[in-house]
Amino acid sequence: MIKKIISIFIIIASIVSCSSSDDAGSGSGNSVDGFNRQSMLTNWADNIIIPVFQDLNTQLADLVTSKNSFIAAPNQTNLEAFRASWLKAYKVWQYAEMFNIGEAEAINYYSKMNIYPTSVPEIESNIASGTYNLSHPNNQDAVGFPALDYLLYGVANNDMDILSIYTTNVNAENYKNYLSDLVNEMKTLTNSVLNNWTTIYRGQFVSSTANTATSSTNKLTNDFIFYYEKGLRANKIGIPAGVFSTNPLPKKVEAYYKSDVSKELTLVALDAVQDFFNGKAYNSNETDASFKQYLQYLNSVRNGEDLDVLINNQINLARSKVVDLNPNFTEQITTNNAEMTNAYNELQKVVVLIKVDMVQSMNISVDYVDADGD
Protein backbone atom coordinates (compact mmCIF):
# COMPACT_ATOMS: atom_id res chain seq x y z
CA MET A 1 0.00 0.00 0.00
CA ILE A 2 2.73 2.42 0.98
CA LYS A 3 4.62 1.47 -2.11
CA LYS A 4 1.56 2.16 -4.19
CA ILE A 5 1.18 5.59 -2.69
CA ILE A 6 4.83 6.30 -3.29
CA SER A 7 4.65 5.20 -6.87
CA ILE A 8 1.54 7.29 -7.50
CA PHE A 9 3.30 10.23 -5.94
CA ILE A 10 6.31 9.63 -8.11
CA ILE A 11 4.19 9.30 -11.21
CA ILE A 12 2.58 12.64 -10.51
CA ALA A 13 5.85 14.19 -9.50
CA SER A 14 7.65 13.12 -12.60
CA ILE A 15 4.84 14.13 -14.91
CA VAL A 16 4.94 17.53 -13.30
CA SER A 17 8.71 17.56 -13.43
CA CYS A 18 8.75 17.05 -17.16
CA SER A 19 6.71 20.10 -17.88
CA SER A 20 7.85 22.44 -15.18
CA SER A 21 11.38 23.12 -14.11
CA ASP A 22 11.02 25.31 -11.06
CA ASP A 23 9.08 23.14 -8.70
CA ALA A 24 10.27 23.24 -5.14
CA GLY A 25 12.01 20.34 -3.51
CA SER A 26 10.73 18.52 -0.50
CA GLY A 27 12.59 20.70 1.95
CA SER A 28 14.41 17.86 3.70
CA GLY A 29 17.70 16.65 2.31
CA ASN A 30 15.87 14.86 -0.44
CA SER A 31 14.80 16.44 -3.67
CA VAL A 32 11.67 15.39 -5.47
CA ASP A 33 13.45 12.49 -7.13
CA GLY A 34 14.51 11.08 -3.78
CA PHE A 35 18.20 11.69 -4.18
CA ASN A 36 19.82 13.15 -1.10
CA ARG A 37 21.09 16.41 -2.46
CA GLN A 38 22.29 17.49 0.93
CA SER A 39 24.87 14.72 1.05
CA MET A 40 26.16 15.86 -2.32
CA LEU A 41 26.26 19.52 -1.27
CA THR A 42 28.09 18.54 1.90
CA ASN A 43 30.67 16.55 -0.03
CA TRP A 44 31.12 19.39 -2.48
CA ALA A 45 31.56 22.00 0.25
CA ASP A 46 33.64 20.08 2.79
CA ASN A 47 35.78 17.82 0.64
CA ILE A 48 36.19 19.81 -2.54
CA ILE A 49 35.33 23.50 -2.57
CA ILE A 50 36.64 24.62 0.83
CA PRO A 51 39.85 22.55 0.53
CA VAL A 52 40.43 24.01 -2.94
CA PHE A 53 40.09 27.57 -1.67
CA GLN A 54 42.27 26.74 1.33
CA ASP A 55 44.98 25.48 -0.96
CA LEU A 56 44.58 28.42 -3.30
CA ASN A 57 44.81 30.79 -0.36
CA THR A 58 48.01 29.08 0.75
CA GLN A 59 49.46 29.27 -2.75
CA LEU A 60 48.62 32.95 -2.94
CA ALA A 61 50.27 33.52 0.43
CA ASP A 62 53.39 31.94 -1.09
CA LEU A 63 52.98 34.15 -4.12
CA VAL A 64 52.86 37.22 -1.89
CA THR A 65 56.04 36.08 -0.13
CA SER A 66 57.96 35.48 -3.34
CA LYS A 67 56.65 38.74 -4.74
CA ASN A 68 57.93 40.56 -1.66
CA SER A 69 61.35 38.96 -2.05
CA PHE A 70 61.45 39.90 -5.70
CA ILE A 71 60.51 43.49 -5.05
CA ALA A 72 63.08 43.74 -2.30
CA ALA A 73 65.73 42.30 -4.61
CA PRO A 74 64.74 42.00 -8.28
CA ASN A 75 67.32 39.44 -9.37
CA GLN A 76 67.21 36.28 -11.48
CA THR A 77 66.88 33.94 -8.50
CA ASN A 78 63.94 35.82 -7.06
CA LEU A 79 62.35 36.18 -10.47
CA GLU A 80 62.45 32.44 -10.95
CA ALA A 81 61.05 31.76 -7.50
CA PHE A 82 58.27 34.28 -8.16
CA ARG A 83 57.46 32.64 -11.48
CA ALA A 84 57.39 29.19 -9.87
CA SER A 85 54.90 30.39 -7.25
CA TRP A 86 52.80 31.95 -9.99
CA LEU A 87 52.57 28.69 -11.95
CA LYS A 88 51.85 26.64 -8.85
CA ALA A 89 49.03 28.96 -7.83
CA TYR A 90 47.72 29.14 -11.40
CA LYS A 91 47.35 25.37 -11.43
CA VAL A 92 45.37 25.36 -8.20
CA TRP A 93 43.26 28.16 -9.66
CA GLN A 94 42.13 25.69 -12.34
CA TYR A 95 40.31 23.83 -9.58
CA ALA A 96 38.65 26.97 -8.22
CA GLU A 97 37.41 28.82 -11.28
CA MET A 98 34.19 26.82 -11.62
CA PHE A 99 32.91 27.67 -8.13
CA ASN A 100 31.39 30.99 -9.09
CA ILE A 101 28.87 30.98 -6.26
CA GLY A 102 28.35 32.84 -2.97
CA GLU A 103 31.02 35.45 -2.29
CA ALA A 104 32.88 34.55 -5.48
CA GLU A 105 29.79 35.44 -7.50
CA ALA A 106 29.04 38.53 -5.41
CA ILE A 107 32.47 40.09 -5.88
CA ASN A 108 32.91 38.90 -9.46
CA TYR A 109 35.94 36.96 -8.32
CA TYR A 110 36.61 35.03 -11.53
CA SER A 111 36.69 38.23 -13.61
CA LYS A 112 39.37 39.62 -11.34
CA MET A 113 41.53 36.51 -11.45
CA ASN A 114 41.66 35.02 -14.92
CA ILE A 115 40.47 37.19 -17.81
CA TYR A 116 42.71 36.69 -20.80
CA PRO A 117 44.05 37.84 -23.13
CA THR A 118 45.28 40.47 -20.73
CA SER A 119 45.45 44.02 -22.03
CA VAL A 120 49.01 45.25 -22.29
CA PRO A 121 47.95 48.84 -23.09
CA GLU A 122 45.77 48.94 -19.97
CA ILE A 123 48.46 47.47 -17.75
CA GLU A 124 51.08 49.83 -19.12
CA SER A 125 48.80 52.80 -18.81
CA ASN A 126 48.00 51.92 -15.19
CA ILE A 127 51.69 51.60 -14.46
CA ALA A 128 52.57 54.83 -16.22
CA SER A 129 49.95 56.81 -14.36
CA GLY A 130 50.51 55.08 -11.04
CA THR A 131 46.84 55.51 -10.13
CA TYR A 132 44.31 52.76 -10.66
CA ASN A 133 41.48 50.91 -9.06
CA LEU A 134 42.25 47.25 -9.60
CA SER A 135 38.77 46.11 -8.67
CA HIS A 136 37.11 48.32 -11.27
CA PRO A 137 35.51 46.25 -14.05
CA ASN A 138 37.52 48.20 -16.62
CA ASN A 139 40.63 46.66 -15.15
CA GLN A 140 39.49 43.05 -15.34
CA ASP A 141 41.85 42.44 -18.24
CA ALA A 142 44.71 44.15 -16.44
CA VAL A 143 44.76 42.02 -13.29
CA GLY A 144 45.00 38.46 -12.03
CA PHE A 145 47.06 35.55 -13.31
CA PRO A 146 47.14 36.76 -16.96
CA ALA A 147 48.48 40.20 -15.98
CA LEU A 148 51.17 38.46 -13.96
CA ASP A 149 51.92 36.27 -16.96
CA TYR A 150 52.72 39.44 -18.88
CA LEU A 151 54.67 41.12 -16.11
CA LEU A 152 56.79 38.05 -15.35
CA TYR A 153 57.38 36.80 -18.88
CA GLY A 154 56.26 39.29 -21.50
CA VAL A 155 57.18 42.73 -20.30
CA ALA A 156 60.52 42.52 -22.13
CA ASN A 157 62.21 40.14 -24.55
CA ASN A 158 64.55 38.29 -22.21
CA ASP A 159 65.15 37.81 -18.52
CA MET A 160 67.86 40.42 -18.35
CA ASP A 161 65.61 43.04 -19.88
CA ILE A 162 62.72 41.92 -17.71
CA LEU A 163 64.83 42.44 -14.60
CA SER A 164 65.87 45.85 -15.82
CA ILE A 165 62.20 46.85 -15.97
CA TYR A 166 62.10 46.39 -12.20
CA THR A 167 65.55 47.88 -11.53
CA THR A 168 66.91 50.49 -13.91
CA ASN A 169 63.79 51.45 -15.85
CA VAL A 170 62.68 55.02 -15.11
CA ASN A 171 59.31 53.62 -14.10
CA ALA A 172 60.76 50.72 -12.07
CA GLU A 173 59.04 51.85 -8.88
CA ASN A 174 55.68 51.99 -10.62
CA TYR A 175 56.22 48.55 -12.12
CA LYS A 176 57.06 47.13 -8.71
CA ASN A 177 54.08 48.84 -7.12
CA TYR A 178 51.74 47.47 -9.74
CA LEU A 179 53.14 43.98 -9.36
CA SER A 180 52.72 44.24 -5.64
CA ASP A 181 49.20 45.66 -5.73
CA LEU A 182 48.16 43.03 -8.23
CA VAL A 183 49.35 40.11 -6.15
CA ASN A 184 48.00 41.57 -2.91
CA GLU A 185 44.62 42.07 -4.54
CA MET A 186 44.50 38.42 -5.66
CA LYS A 187 45.32 37.34 -2.14
CA THR A 188 42.72 39.63 -0.56
CA LEU A 189 39.99 38.45 -2.91
CA THR A 190 40.78 34.80 -2.35
CA ASN A 191 40.90 35.30 1.37
CA SER A 192 37.45 36.86 1.38
CA VAL A 193 35.99 34.03 -0.70
CA LEU A 194 37.50 31.42 1.58
CA ASN A 195 36.44 33.26 4.73
CA ASN A 196 32.90 33.56 3.53
CA TRP A 197 32.77 29.83 2.89
CA THR A 198 34.14 28.87 6.29
CA THR A 199 32.10 31.36 8.33
CA ILE A 200 28.66 31.92 6.80
CA TYR A 201 28.21 30.42 3.41
CA ARG A 202 28.92 26.74 3.98
CA GLY A 203 25.81 26.38 6.15
CA GLN A 204 23.57 28.18 3.69
CA PHE A 205 25.01 26.19 0.84
CA VAL A 206 24.42 22.71 2.22
CA SER A 207 20.94 23.44 3.52
CA SER A 208 19.66 24.81 0.21
CA THR A 209 18.41 21.46 -1.06
CA ALA A 210 15.33 22.40 -3.06
CA ASN A 211 15.06 22.28 -6.81
CA THR A 212 14.59 25.90 -7.73
CA ALA A 213 16.68 28.13 -9.94
CA THR A 214 18.40 29.57 -6.87
CA SER A 215 18.98 26.32 -4.95
CA SER A 216 22.59 25.32 -4.36
CA THR A 217 22.56 22.21 -6.54
CA ASN A 218 20.89 24.04 -9.41
CA LYS A 219 23.22 27.00 -9.21
CA LEU A 220 26.43 25.06 -8.88
CA THR A 221 25.37 22.64 -11.60
CA ASN A 222 24.91 25.62 -13.87
CA ASP A 223 28.25 27.05 -12.75
CA PHE A 224 29.93 23.73 -13.45
CA ILE A 225 28.47 23.45 -16.95
CA PHE A 226 29.07 27.11 -17.71
CA TYR A 227 32.66 26.80 -16.58
CA TYR A 228 33.18 23.69 -18.65
CA GLU A 229 31.64 25.22 -21.74
CA LYS A 230 33.05 28.72 -21.48
CA GLY A 231 36.07 28.74 -19.16
CA LEU A 232 37.53 25.46 -20.31
CA ARG A 233 36.27 24.47 -23.76
CA ALA A 234 35.93 27.94 -25.29
CA ASN A 235 38.55 30.06 -23.55
CA LYS A 236 41.37 27.53 -23.43
CA ILE A 237 40.85 25.80 -26.80
CA GLY A 238 37.94 27.02 -28.92
CA ILE A 239 38.59 30.76 -29.05
CA PRO A 240 42.31 30.55 -29.85
CA ALA A 241 41.62 27.78 -32.40
CA GLY A 242 39.23 30.13 -34.22
CA VAL A 243 36.08 28.12 -33.59
CA PHE A 244 34.11 31.34 -33.03
CA SER A 245 35.90 33.62 -35.47
CA THR A 246 36.90 33.80 -39.11
CA ASN A 247 40.52 33.03 -38.38
CA PRO A 248 42.40 31.35 -35.51
CA LEU A 249 43.47 33.70 -32.72
CA PRO A 250 46.67 32.08 -31.42
CA LYS A 251 47.50 34.99 -29.12
CA LYS A 252 44.36 34.35 -27.08
CA VAL A 253 45.71 31.24 -25.36
CA GLU A 254 45.93 31.04 -21.59
CA ALA A 255 49.41 31.97 -20.29
CA TYR A 256 50.41 33.37 -23.68
CA TYR A 257 53.65 34.96 -22.42
CA LYS A 258 54.89 31.98 -20.45
CA SER A 259 53.81 30.18 -23.63
CA ASP A 260 54.65 26.57 -22.82
CA VAL A 261 52.09 25.83 -20.07
CA SER A 262 48.77 26.33 -21.87
CA LYS A 263 48.38 22.60 -22.27
CA GLU A 264 49.41 21.89 -18.69
CA LEU A 265 46.80 24.31 -17.36
CA THR A 266 44.12 22.82 -19.60
CA LEU A 267 44.92 19.32 -18.38
CA VAL A 268 44.67 20.43 -14.76
CA ALA A 269 41.33 22.06 -15.52
CA LEU A 270 40.08 18.82 -17.10
CA ASP A 271 41.14 16.89 -14.00
CA ALA A 272 39.34 19.42 -11.84
CA VAL A 273 36.15 19.00 -13.87
CA GLN A 274 36.31 15.23 -13.84
CA ASP A 275 37.15 15.06 -10.13
CA PHE A 276 34.22 17.29 -9.33
CA PHE A 277 31.92 15.21 -11.49
CA ASN A 278 33.05 12.08 -9.65
CA GLY A 279 32.90 13.72 -6.23
CA LYS A 280 36.58 13.08 -5.56
CA ALA A 281 37.97 14.86 -2.52
CA TYR A 282 40.56 17.53 -3.29
CA ASN A 283 43.05 16.27 -0.72
CA SER A 284 42.63 12.52 -1.13
CA ASN A 285 41.33 9.85 -3.46
CA GLU A 286 38.12 9.40 -1.47
CA THR A 287 34.91 9.85 -3.41
CA ASP A 288 31.46 10.67 -2.11
CA ALA A 289 28.08 11.94 -3.28
CA SER A 290 28.40 13.60 -6.66
CA PHE A 291 26.89 14.09 -10.10
CA LYS A 292 28.13 10.60 -10.85
CA GLN A 293 26.29 9.08 -7.93
CA TYR A 294 23.23 11.15 -8.69
CA LEU A 295 23.12 9.82 -12.25
CA GLN A 296 23.68 6.28 -11.01
CA TYR A 297 20.87 6.73 -8.51
CA LEU A 298 18.58 7.91 -11.29
CA ASN A 299 19.86 5.08 -13.46
CA SER A 300 20.39 7.59 -16.26
CA VAL A 301 21.14 6.03 -19.58
CA ARG A 302 21.71 7.37 -23.06
CA ASN A 303 21.36 5.04 -26.00
CA GLY A 304 21.40 2.14 -23.56
CA GLU A 305 24.64 3.12 -21.83
CA ASP A 306 25.11 4.53 -18.35
CA LEU A 307 25.34 8.27 -18.59
CA ASP A 308 27.96 8.62 -15.85
CA VAL A 309 30.19 6.15 -17.70
CA LEU A 310 29.68 7.94 -20.99
CA ILE A 311 30.64 11.26 -19.42
CA ASN A 312 33.82 9.88 -17.86
CA ASN A 313 34.76 8.10 -21.08
CA GLN A 314 34.23 11.22 -23.14
CA ILE A 315 36.30 13.35 -20.76
CA ASN A 316 39.03 10.72 -20.99
CA LEU A 317 38.88 10.78 -24.77
CA ALA A 318 39.05 14.57 -24.79
CA ARG A 319 42.02 14.43 -22.44
CA SER A 320 43.84 12.02 -24.75
CA LYS A 321 43.47 14.56 -27.58
CA VAL A 322 44.71 17.41 -25.41
CA VAL A 323 47.68 15.35 -24.23
CA ASP A 324 48.80 14.96 -27.84
CA LEU A 325 48.95 18.72 -28.39
CA ASN A 326 52.05 20.89 -28.29
CA PRO A 327 52.58 22.25 -24.75
CA ASN A 328 52.65 25.63 -26.47
CA PHE A 329 49.15 26.14 -27.87
CA THR A 330 50.18 29.17 -29.90
CA GLU A 331 52.66 26.99 -31.76
CA GLN A 332 50.11 24.20 -32.07
CA ILE A 333 47.56 26.55 -33.65
CA THR A 334 50.08 28.04 -36.05
CA THR A 335 51.53 24.73 -37.18
CA ASN A 336 48.52 22.39 -37.14
CA ASN A 337 45.24 23.87 -36.03
CA ALA A 338 43.30 20.76 -37.09
CA GLU A 339 44.72 18.91 -34.07
CA MET A 340 43.53 21.76 -31.91
CA THR A 341 40.03 21.62 -33.40
CA ASN A 342 40.03 17.83 -33.05
CA ALA A 343 40.62 18.27 -29.33
CA TYR A 344 37.86 20.88 -29.27
CA ASN A 345 35.47 18.43 -30.94
CA GLU A 346 35.93 15.86 -28.20
CA LEU A 347 35.58 18.52 -25.50
CA GLN A 348 32.37 19.70 -27.16
CA LYS A 349 30.85 16.23 -26.98
CA VAL A 350 31.05 16.41 -23.21
CA VAL A 351 28.93 19.59 -23.32
CA VAL A 352 26.02 17.71 -24.86
CA LEU A 353 26.24 14.97 -22.25
CA ILE A 354 26.27 17.32 -19.26
CA LYS A 355 24.22 20.23 -20.57
CA VAL A 356 21.43 18.16 -22.08
CA ASP A 357 21.38 14.59 -20.80
CA MET A 358 22.70 15.14 -17.29
CA VAL A 359 20.55 18.12 -16.40
CA GLN A 360 17.46 16.52 -17.90
CA SER A 361 18.00 13.49 -15.70
CA MET A 362 18.36 15.65 -12.63
CA ASN A 363 15.53 17.91 -13.75
CA ILE A 364 17.67 21.01 -13.50
CA SER A 365 17.16 23.94 -15.86
CA VAL A 366 20.11 25.45 -17.63
CA ASP A 367 19.91 29.15 -16.88
CA TYR A 368 21.92 30.43 -19.81
CA VAL A 369 21.86 29.98 -23.59
CA ASP A 370 24.60 30.53 -26.15
CA ALA A 371 24.01 33.89 -27.75
CA ASP A 372 24.58 32.51 -31.19
CA GLY A 373 21.39 33.05 -33.19
CA ASP A 374 20.46 35.68 -35.72
The nearest distance, CB 338 to another protein, in angstroms, is 5
Q: Which is nearer to another protein, 73 or 352 (CB)?
A: 352
Q: How many CB atoms lie within 10 A of CB 36?
A: 17
Of the residues 47, 85, 140, 361, which one makes contact with another protein according to CB under 8 A: 361
CB under 8 Å to 272, separation ≥6 — which residues? 94, 95, 98
Cα 95 to Cα 52: distance, rounded to the nearest angstrom: 7
The nearest distance, CB 117 to another protein, in angstroms, is 20
According to DSSP, the residues that pair with 305 across neighbouring strands are 302
The nearest distance, CB 336 to another protein, in angstroms, is 11
Q: Which is nearer to another protein, 19 or 199 (CB)?
A: 19
The DSSP code for 256 is T
Task: Please state whether the peptide bond connecting residue 250 to the residue before it is cis, i.e. omega within 30 degrees of 0.
Answer: no
Q: Of 76-84, 87-95, 132-140, 354-362, which part binds another protein (CB under 8 A)?
A: 354-362
Cα 370 to Cα 234: distance, rounded to the nearest angstrom: 12
Q: Which is nearer to another protein, 17 or 174 (CB)?
A: 17
Cα 169 to Cα 150: distance, rounded to the nearest angstrom: 17
Q: Of 136-144, 186-194, 282-290, 294-302, which part binds another protein (CB under 8 A)?
A: 294-302
Does position 72 bind another protein by CB under 8 A?
A: no
Cα 310 to Cα 172: distance, rounded to the nearest angstrom: 54
Residues in the interface with another protein (CB under 8 A) total 45
The nearest distance, CB 362 to another protein, in angstroms, is 10
User: For residues 209-238, which are near another protein according to CB under 8 A?
Assistant: 238
Of the residues 193, 292, 344, 354, which one makes contact with another protein according to CB under 8 A: 344
Q: Which is nearer to another protein, 26 or 259 (CB)?
A: 26
Q: Which is nearer to another protein, 126 or 348 (CB)?
A: 348
Does position 285 bind another protein by CB under 8 A?
A: no
Of the residues 14, 28, 198, 207, which one makes contact with another protein according to CB under 8 A: 14
**Could you tell me where the DSSP H helices lie in 115-213?**
120-129, 144-149, 159-165, 172-196, 202-207
CB under 8 Å to 3, separation ≥6 — which residues? none
Of the residues 81, 298, 309, 317, which one makes contact with another protein according to CB under 8 A: 298
First to last CA, the chain: 54
Does position 21 bind another protein by CB under 8 A?
A: yes
- For residues 26 to 65, the per-residue mask of contacts with another protein, x marking binding by CB under 8 A and - elsewhere, is -------xx-------------------------------
Does position 3 bind another protein by CB under 8 A?
A: yes
Residue 30: phi, psi to the nearest 5? -95, 135
SS3 27: coil
User: H/E element holding 67?
Assistant: helix 50-72
Does position 329 bind another protein by CB under 8 A?
A: no
Q: Which is nearer to another protein, 10 or 107 (CB)?
A: 10
Residue 287: phi, psi to the nearest 5? -120, 150
- For residues 194 to 213, the per-residue mask of contacts with another protein, x marking binding by CB under 8 A and - elsewhere, is --------------------
Decide the pairing of beta strands 305-306 and 301-302.
antiparallel
Of the residues 64, 100, 241, 331, which one makes contact with another protein according to CB under 8 A: 241
> What region, left, alpha or beta, does residue 70 occupy, with left being phi > 0 and alpha being psi -120 to 50 degrees?
alpha
Of the residues 60, 243, 269, 358, which one makes contact with another protein according to CB under 8 A: 243
Cα 288 to Cα 255: distance, rounded to the nearest angstrom: 33
User: CB of 103 within 8 A of CB of 201?
Assistant: yes
Residue 25: phi, psi to the nearest 5? -80, -175
Cα 22 to Cα 327: distance, rounded to the nearest angstrom: 44
Q: Of 17-25, 91-99, 113-121, 269-277, which part binds another protein (CB under 8 A)?
A: 17-25
- Which residues bind to another protein, rule: CB under 8 A? 3, 6-7, 10-11, 14-15, 18-22, 33-34, 238, 241-243, 246, 297-301, 337-338, 341-342, 344-346, 348-349, 352, 356, 360-361, 365-370, 373-374
